[in-house]
């Protein structure tokens, strides 16, 4: 089934017994957000309604500390905890390096001269788990680990405004350095 509308997505989810009634509330992304991910090439969704995404997980170290995204404020005003290394979905046809640059630009507000990609592990870790953004939706992750070096970030807790797609539900990212 080709997903050409939110209605098509609802039909696919219902056919596979996936309850999306909590989506779009309490910090969860909406049906429209998932549809946007599909049409923008951020993910695929299979006939059995398994979301498939590739992600670049970015490790940034400074003086024995790692940078974590502590939380996000969504455009609807809701705050959700993250406690994850910076990460970016790799769009269909995009390479890992380009996704890394996009993350550093859109989420951390750095220019390409403000950081250096040190290494990219192209041996993906593949795992299946329920999505934190879309309850009851299984997601198959293909994760690539990236190491980035920069001295352009503050060494105290800070926040950045998302500068990507206006349909992205995230408005503000909150960052924290955590001891390794």
The predicted model scores a pTM of: 0.89
**pLDDT score of 41 more than 70:** yes
CATH code for residues 6-179: 3.90.79.10
Beta strands in the chain (DSSP E): 44-45, 51-62, 65-74, 79-84, 87-90, 115-130, 138-150, 158-161, 170-179
| pLDDT in the model for residue 166 | 67
Confidence of residue 26 (pLDDT cuts 50, 70, 90): confident
Q: What is the pLDDT of residues 49-108, one digit of tens each?
A: 999 999 999 999 998 999 999 999 988 888 989 999 999 999 999 999 999 999 999 999
């Amino acid at each position: 089934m080709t997903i050409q509308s939110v209605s098509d997505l609802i039909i696919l989810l219902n056919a596979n017994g996936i309850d999306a009634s909590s989506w779009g509330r309490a910090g969860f992304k909406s049906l429209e957000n998932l549809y946007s991910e599909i049409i923008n090439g951020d993910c695929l969704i299979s006939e059995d309604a398994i979301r498939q995404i590739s992600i670049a997980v970015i490790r940034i170290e400074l003086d024995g500390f790692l940078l974590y995204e502590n939380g996000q404020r969504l455009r609807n005003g809701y705050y959700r905890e993250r406690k994850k290394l910076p990460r970016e979905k790799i769009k269909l046809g995009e390479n890992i390096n380009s996704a890394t640059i996009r993350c550093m630009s859109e989420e951390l507000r750095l220019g390409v001269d403000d950081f250096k990609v040190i290494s990219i592990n192209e041996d993906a870790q593949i795992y299946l788990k329920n999505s934190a953004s879309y309850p009851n939706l299984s997601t198959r992750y293909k994760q690539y680990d990236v190491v980035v070096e920069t001295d352009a970030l503050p060494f105290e807790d800070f926040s950045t405004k998302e500068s990507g797609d206006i349909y992205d539900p995230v408005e503000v990212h909150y960052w924290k350095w955590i001891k390794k």
